[in-house]
């Protein structure tokens, strides 16, 4: 890894020596090292049980490290900083219905910034900006449960963008989307000026959206590099139970914007 420029802003995410064991004694992480510079899109790959969810839950302080540390934009993820860390780390859940609970789309998107103290015209502007960003401004007064699954996912992204996060964490963003909704979400993700950490089993989506991928295996970073190269390594893929769709060759795919 190259040395950092002393005058540059801190990376969006720095995980140093992160280890964690659950109360039942199961050791999920064994000293994870991960740095994500600002504005990058990185896929977090690995089989079920590799520790991906455990790692993500440390990013906004839901879990506390047994050893090591996590910092978001230079701010340590510690108890005194949790409110600001949770504003900076926006997590979009796999199921948008876990995230949308207000009577209207507008109220759902307003919830986060309102909880942070925004009111009146400033809050209204923040909501409008977030909905416009995801192409859902026309649906502001609709009940979320009247929307399609893909529309609800975009609203879920808007609820996070409304807090102006440093990092957008996407948990299986392509799951249950039809091809059009999948493409629309990909276009949206590419357009965002934020750091993205995408947790996914959808390897073609990782290739399409994330130039860099990190493979988590048995609680450690097993590989970290160019997504196309990692997906083209049969031994690595087999070792970490990663499966490409039948006939999919990552070396033959043209990535948009590449």
What's the length of the chain?
Answer: 258
pLDDT digits (tens, 9 = 90+) for 204-229: 999 999 999 999 998 999 999 999 99
Phi-psi region of 142 (alpha: psi -120 to 50; beta: other; left: phi over 0): beta
Q: What pLDDT score does 8 carry? A: 76
Report the Cα–Cα distance between both ends of the chain, in Å, rounded: 22
Contact 32, 49 (CB under 8 A): no
Does a structural domain hold residue 7?
A: no
Separation of alpha carbons 42 and 13, rounded Å: 11
CATH of the domain at 180: 3.40.50.300
Contact 123, 113 (CB under 8 A): yes
Separation of alpha carbons 91 and 81, rounded Å: 17
Does a structural domain hold residue 252?
A: no
Share of the chain above pLDDT 90, in %: 91
Worst-scoring range by mean pLDDT, 6-10, 64-68, 118-122, 191-195? Answer: 6-10
Calculate the average pLDDT of the chain.
94
Share of the chain above pLDDT 70, in %: 97
pLDDT band of 257, cuts 50, 70, 90: low
Position 1 pLDDT exceeds 50: no
Position 2 pLDDT exceeds 90: no
Q: What pLDDT score does 6 carry? A: 65
pLDDT digits (tens, 9 = 90+) for 39-61: 999 999 999 889 999 999 999 99
pLDDT band of 9, cuts 50, 70, 90: confident
3-state secondary structure the chain: CCCCCCCCCCCCEEEEEEEEECCCCCEEEEEEEEEECCCCEEEEECCCCCCHHHHHHHHCCCCCCCEEEEEECCEECCHHHHHHHHHHEEEECCCHHHCCCCCCHHHHHHHHHHHCCCCHHHHHHHHHHHHHHCCCHHHCCCCHHHCCHHHHHHHHHHHHHCCCCCEEEEECCCCCCCHHHHHHHHHHHHHCCCEEEEECCCHHHHHHHCCEEEEEECCEEEEEEEHHHHHCCHHHHHHCCCCCCCCCCHHHCCCCCC
Separation of alpha carbons 133 and 76, rounded Å: 29
Separation of alpha carbons 181 and 183, rounded Å: 5
User: What is the number of structural domains in the chain?
Assistant: 1
Once rounded to an integer, what is the mean pLDDT over residues 138-163?
96
Does a structural domain hold residue 249?
A: no
Position 102 pLDDT exceeds 70: yes
Domain interval for residue 142: 13-242
Does a structural domain hold residue 251?
A: no
Residues 6 or more apart in contact with residue 113 via CB below 8 angstroms: 123, 126, 127, 162, 163
Does a structural domain hold residue 110?
A: yes
Position 202 pLDDT exceeds 70: yes
pLDDT digits (tens, 9 = 90+) for 149-158: 999 999 999 9
Once rounded to an integer, what is the mean pLDDT over residues 114-142?
95
Does a structural domain hold residue 22?
A: yes
Separation of alpha carbons 28 and 177, rounded Å: 30
Does a structural domain hold residue 258?
A: no
Separation of alpha carbons 76 and 90, rounded Å: 16
Does a structural domain hold residue 247?
A: no
């Amino acid at each position: 890894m190259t040395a950092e420029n002393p005058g540059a802003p801190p990376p969006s995410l720095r995980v140093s020596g992160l280890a964690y064991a659950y109360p039942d004694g199961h050791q999920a992480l064994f000293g994870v090292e991960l740095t994500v510079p600002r504005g990058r899109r990185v896929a977090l790959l690995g089989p079920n049980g590799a520790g991906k969810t455990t790692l993500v839950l440390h990013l906004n302080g839901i879990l506390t490290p047994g050893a090591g540390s996590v910092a978001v934009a230079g701010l340590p993820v510690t108890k005194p900083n949790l409110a600001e860390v949770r504003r900076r780390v926006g997590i979009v859940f796999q199921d948008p219905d876990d995230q949308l609970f207000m009577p209207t789309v507008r109220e759902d998107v307003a919830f986060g910034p309102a909880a942070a103290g925004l009111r009146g015209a400033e809050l209204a502007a923040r909501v409008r900006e977030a909905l416009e960003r995801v192409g859902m401004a026309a649906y502001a007064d609709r009940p979320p449960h009247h929307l399609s699954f893909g529309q609800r996912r975009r609203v879920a992204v808007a609820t996070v963008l409304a807090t102006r996060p440093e990092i957008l964490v996407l948990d299986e963003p392509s799951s249950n989307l039809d091809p059009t909704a999948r493409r629309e979400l990909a276009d949206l993700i590419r357009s965002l000026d934020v750091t993205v950490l995408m947790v996914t089993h959808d390897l073609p989506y990782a290739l399409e959206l994330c130039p860099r991928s990190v493979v988590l295996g048995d609680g450690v970073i097993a590989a970290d590099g160019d997504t196309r190269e990692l997906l083209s390594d049969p031994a690595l893929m087999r070792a970490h139970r990663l499966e490409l769709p039948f006939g999919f060759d990552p070396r033959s795919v043209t990535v948009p914007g590449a």
